Amino acid sequence: MAPKYRASVLEEIGLSEETAVMLTKDYPWPELVRLIQQLDAYGKFFEPEDINARAGRGAPTNSTEFVDHCFIPMLWPHLYWTVRVDSEGGIREIGFQNQAEINFRNFDPSTVRVGLWTLMTIERLARSSKIVDGWDEEKVVRFDFDSSHFQGIFVFGLLTEWTKV
């Protein structure tokens, strides 16, 4: 989590940095969470799976060979932690997705806020997008909208920085 965003989250929930470090000592996020290869293991780190969830609406898949399993993370109850599993039970993709489907007739990208938006949703609303830098868990993406350009930094698909370029 970007330092500025981490500080704002801790302030919002009323935790000091020291308390946060103590609470996360035994919690493998984020370093080990991407290494988990069994779907049931995610139940130890997140609220129970929401079987009524409709994940994947932001980025359509070309195949029915994948099933999205959606968990609710404690610090981001408005998001899903989605685990995409292939037909053989292998985990193919993990990350955050918005629970609500966001469709604006007159979308203004300056209203986008860190911690509330995910890569899939913004990609769907943008005219185009391009990865500037990044690997698995962190990506820098540039977006073109009708009359403006923005750049976002995403960690596991969650927006942590947003700037007009």
Question: In this structure, is the dihedral angle defined by the CA atoms of residues 91, 25, 138 and 157, taken in order, positive or negative?
Answer: positive
The total of structural domains in the chain comes to 2
Neighbours of 91 (CB within 10 A): 18
Cβ contact 121:111 at 8 Å: no
Q: Is residue 10 part of a domain?
A: no
In this prediction, residue 119 carries a pLDDT of 95
- The yes-or-no verdict on residue 112 having pLDDT over 90 is yes
Residue 151 CA: distances (Å) to CA of 78, 95, 99, 101, 146: 23, 19, 22, 21, 14
- The yes-or-no verdict on residue 131 having pLDDT over 60 is yes
Structural domain span for residue 140: 109-164
Q: Give the pLDDT band of residue 76 (cuts 50, 70, 90).
A: confident
In this prediction, residue 25 carries a pLDDT of 62
Average pLDDT of the residues in 76-92:
86
Same domain? For 80 and 136 the reply is no
pTM of the model: 0.74
Gyration radius of the chain's alpha carbons: 16
- The yes-or-no verdict on residue 60 having pLDDT over 50 is no
